[in-house]
């Protein structure tokens, strides 16, 4: 926890995420022609469960979620999601699952 205590965590666009956040939902749009993904909106949640509920109830399979029961788990999942969004192969393959 001490490592994360002073770490600034940001969204893909660079907005600072408050310490209380345990879930983040990116509302996305996937362009099948160019095989790219655009983040249209970002929603943050203080509880991972709330993020999961929102993700499950939106009619947008292109959207992406990161969540964790602890700050450490959330940040680890968010880091992995950001790495995937920066990986053209992963973004290209995403269309197979939409």
Q: pLDDT tens digits, residue range 62-94? A: 999 999 999 999 999 999 999 999 999 999 999
Instruction: Specify the pTM.
Output: 0.91
Judged against a pLDDT cut of 90, whether residue 42 lies above it is answered with: yes
Specify the long-range contacts of residues 85-89, CB closer than 8 Å, at least 24 apart: 85/12, 85/37, 85/39, 88/35
- Coil, strand or helix: which one is 39? strand
Whole-number CA gyration radius for the chain: 14
**Mean pLDDT, residues 11-23:** 96
The H-assigned helical ranges of the chain are: 2-5, 48-56, 71-85, 88-94
pLDDT score for 4: 61
pLDDT score for 7: 86
pLDDT tens-digit map of 24-36: 999 999 999 999 9
What residues contact 60, with CB distance under 8 A and at least 6 apart?
Answer: 27, 28
């Amino acid at each position: 926890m001490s490592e994360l205590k002073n770490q600034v965590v940001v969204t893909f666009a660079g907005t600072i995420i408050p310490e209380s956040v345990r879930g983040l939902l990116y509302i996305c749009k996937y362009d099948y022609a160019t095989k790219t993904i655009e983040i249209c909106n970002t929603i943050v949640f203080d509880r991972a469960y709330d993020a999961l509920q929102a993700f499950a109830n939106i009619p947008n399979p292109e959207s992406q979620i990161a969540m964790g029961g602890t700050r450490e788990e959330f940040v680890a999942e968010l880091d992995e999601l950001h790495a995937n969004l920066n990986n053209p192969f992963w973004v290209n393959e995403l269309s197979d699952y939409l």
